[in-house]
Chain A
């Protein structure tokens, strides 16, 4: 029989000391950060570089502290300074730490008692509560730590655990997705705004939203202006984290009220109810503190030697290209990163993480690649993160390129840069790529043989680089508006403008561009591996040839919702291709295909073809590839036959098709050369072919299905 629960007072409810007018007692060392405890708040912070630590308390919004409480050295355990302060109104409290430098400071230590630093474990940050509102630059404490309520009514929500191979990832910018006036949402550019667009995402058919960084960052962390207009430029993308445990307040309609945590959780719940996972782009390779000339916000003021990779002289290694490099394989920093991701997985029900410049996480504290990087192993085997997708951008700015060789520990997937480059080059008509294209379409077994197709995040476009529309509209980047003399962004775009640089009234070129975009979507969504598409590509969103829009909080970057109507043809095609992928499990297997007959149909699981069946053209002049997939249908026992052909040649070709069993024929499901709506038909409306042949148009792609004749 269960005993009756009885609440009793705790024996540690009472202060043992009074400091600065507040009752305090020795704090709990763990957990780090500020934690609500009965009657007070427990503060715990690590600093191995400090001679002393003070907790600095502010009434919300007040420039000057209301109290400063030195942590008695007797409260320190190891290098952790912990104190419980009683009688605080935690909802209206802002806090930070003042760090006293040691007399015997090491090279690289940057403690500065004149600066108040933010708590690395802060769950809420105030100071940038409403996007774009000019901060009070004279305020010496810009990013103020706050406490968050951790009581949540999840209403039964939990991470969705969709099998990785079944995902269709949709990469988007939280603000940019609904900021455009055409979005029509009540709260543009916010978590709440995205909720209003969930029906659109459902209708499109994607089942995973990947958000560019949403950890608190400073949108004002950019001093450039647009040279053409004089407009201020921002850190719009947010790849420069200020606080790793705090959702960006400026992305919340309720940020001014400090409710960004609630609003973000509401978004997660709504996405999950719609069957859509949420993946976060996380940036653990560097922080917003920059190099020697950057601001002291938190880490460098606490313990610079611990949190950053430093040269023996105390300068910052710069493998991130942004000034500093986070020291992820230091045990203390590793624990910090693991704790942060556990927090997001458990307290926000995040389904997965994409790691920006993840190869940095493979380096030791001097920058050398590790054979067995403990951080990556810890994340891959963490009990809380077991079901989370972990995706690496498997390169860094220091030249470490690990696509296909990133230490995966049977968990990590990678952004497959090889897939992007091969498909782009094939699409623009480069010869000699048919063999490589076949490898990419089949899940890149050359890169991930032991890991399966789940390791390959296939993408043709992402936030970094041209959008799909720009990929078929521009040969060269046009980044002048970034204020860097067009020197930023990649020069290696593998794009083709279809005959005219930029927008044109030429209807032939316009039609070709639409077709090329459809070709790209068709290849992406019929490839094994996990497809990822960039938000807006489904409606032909342009960035006007700018392949590095990190600084533009403007229509140049924002999703233009008028395109949903204007480019309805392309949207319909993207919807149809996602639906087709969902209907044919053979396209989504987590294993690489084999040359064996897996379903007893007389054909191998995958086979390659050219103008004549079973005769692929692997030659340097080859620009056409046919692939036949044979697998199980989701229902029934009859095998599923798909034939996909991609012709990047500027001439049409007559295809002889592989034979089908008696009683079946090929039916045309997709032909990108046909005008809409004949370009893609609804399931069951495939057009049967009377002959076992098909004329594939120049620069087009087709999908044929085996149907009853």
Chain B
């Protein structure tokens, strides 16, 4: 079924924000792993930043897992933001309408600041909620 580039999931905590860095392809192969990794973090950390700057390829399934995580975070009162969108990825997200659902930051530090500020200001609602 074509070349499989495994996704790697790396976790760190910065200023109480869980930063999850994904590397590789976010597609049908990897969505289960990514979903379980992020969901396992959410109950403990109310702020999650998904760093996609190392994601090389994103498919429709990958977009759906991102949206699912975002929705799940909303249900758990967790704030989720994404960072590191390449120009191509941003265009795909924008054209397909998925960008409307996400909080997006330009860098990890910006994303952390955005989430911390959201918590401080108690503004955690998704953009389109």
A residues sitting closer than 8 Å to B (CB atoms) are 59-62, 66, 89-93, 149, 151, 153, 155, 186-187, 190-192, 252-254, 257-259, 262-263, 265-266, 269-270
Contact = CB atoms under 8 A, between A and B. Distances in A.
Given A262-B98, A265-B97, A91 B61 contact: yes
Contacts of A252: 95
Given A191-B95, A253-B95, A60 B67 contact: no
B60 A91 contact: yes
B28 A89 contact: yes
B36 to A, nearest CB: 16
B1 A253 contact: no
B96 A89 contact: no
B128 interface: yes
A254 B61 contact: no
30 contacts: A59-B2, A60-B2, A89-B28, A91-B59, A92-B1, A92-B2, A92-B27, A92-B28, A149-B60, A149-B61, A151-B64, A153-B71, A190-B95, A191-B95, A192-B94, A192-B96, A254-B95, A254-B96, A257-B58, A257-B60, A258-B59, A259-B60, A259-B96, A262-B60, A262-B63, A262-B98, A263-B96, A265-B97, A266-B95, A266-B96
Given A60-B1, A149-B61, A153-B67, A254 B128 contact: no
Contacts of B27: 91-92
Nearest to A187: B95
Contacts of B28: 89-92
Q: Max chain A CB contacts within 10 Å: which of B28, B58, B71, B128? A: B28
A190 B61 CA distance: 22
Contacts of B64: 149, 151
Contacts of A153: 67, 71, 101
B85 interface: no
A153 B97 CA distance: 10
A546 to B, nearest CB: 31
Given A60-B1, A89-B28, A254-B92, A259 B128 contact: no
Interface centre among B1, B58, B92, B128 (most CB of A within 10 A): B1
Contacts of A192: 94-96
B2 A269 contact: no
Interface string B94-122: 11111001000000000000000000000
B29 interface: yes
Nearest to A192: B95
B91 interface: yes
B94 to A, nearest CB: 7
A93 B94 CA distance: 25
Contacts of A151: 64
B64 to A, nearest CB: 6
A-side binding surface: helix, strand, loop or mixed?
loop
A270 B128 CA distance: 13
Contacts of B91: 186-187, 253
Contacts of B97: 262-263, 265-266, 269-270
A156 to B, nearest CB: 10
A91 B27 CA distance: 8
Nearest to B128: A155
A137 B76 CA distance: 52
Contacts, number: 70
A580 B15 CA distance: 59
A577 to B, nearest CB: 33
Nearest to A257: B92
A258 B2 CA distance: 16
A186 B92 CA distance: 11
A262 B66 CA distance: 14
A191 B92 CA distance: 12
Looking at B2, B27, B97, which has the most chain A CB atoms within 10 Å of its CB? Answer: B97
Chain A CB within 10 Å, residue with most, of B61, B67, B71: B61
Contact of A66 (B1, B60, B63): B1
A635 to B, nearest CB: 34
Contacts of B128: 155
B90 to A, nearest CB: 10
A262 B59 contact: no
B112 to A, nearest CB: 27
B3 to A, nearest CB: 10
Considering residues B2, B27, B60, B92, which has the most beta carbons from chain A within 10 angstroms of its beta carbon? Answer: B60
Given A149-B64, A265-B97, A266-B97, A259 B92 contact: yes
B1 A263 contact: no
A190 B97 CA distance: 13
Nearest to A92: B1
B70 to A, nearest CB: 10
Interface string B57-87: 0111101100100010000000000000000
Nearest to B3: A59
A259 B59 CA distance: 8
A68 to B, nearest CB: 16
A88 to B, nearest CB: 9
Given A149-B61, A254-B95, 13 more contacts: A90-B28, A91-B28, A149-B64, A151-B64, A253-B95, A257-B60, A258-B60, A259-B60, A259-B63, A262-B97, A266-B95, A266-B96, A269-B97
Nearest to A60: B2
A60 B28 CA distance: 13
Nearest to A124: B60
A59 B60 contact: no
A192 to B, nearest CB: 4
Contacts of A62: 2
A262 B92 CA distance: 10
A89 B95 contact: no
Contacts of B98: 262
A431 B49 CA distance: 73
A66 B91 CA distance: 32
B32 to A, nearest CB: 12
Contacts of A61: 2
A149 B128 CA distance: 22
Contacts of B2: 59-62, 92
B65 to A, nearest CB: 11
Contacts of A254: 92, 95-96
A263 B29 contact: no
B116 to A, nearest CB: 27
B11 to A, nearest CB: 26
Give the residue among A89, A149, A155, A257 with the most B Cβ atoms within 10 A. Answer: A257
A265 B98 CA distance: 11
A174 to B, nearest CB: 14
A262 B96 contact: yes
A15 B89 CA distance: 38
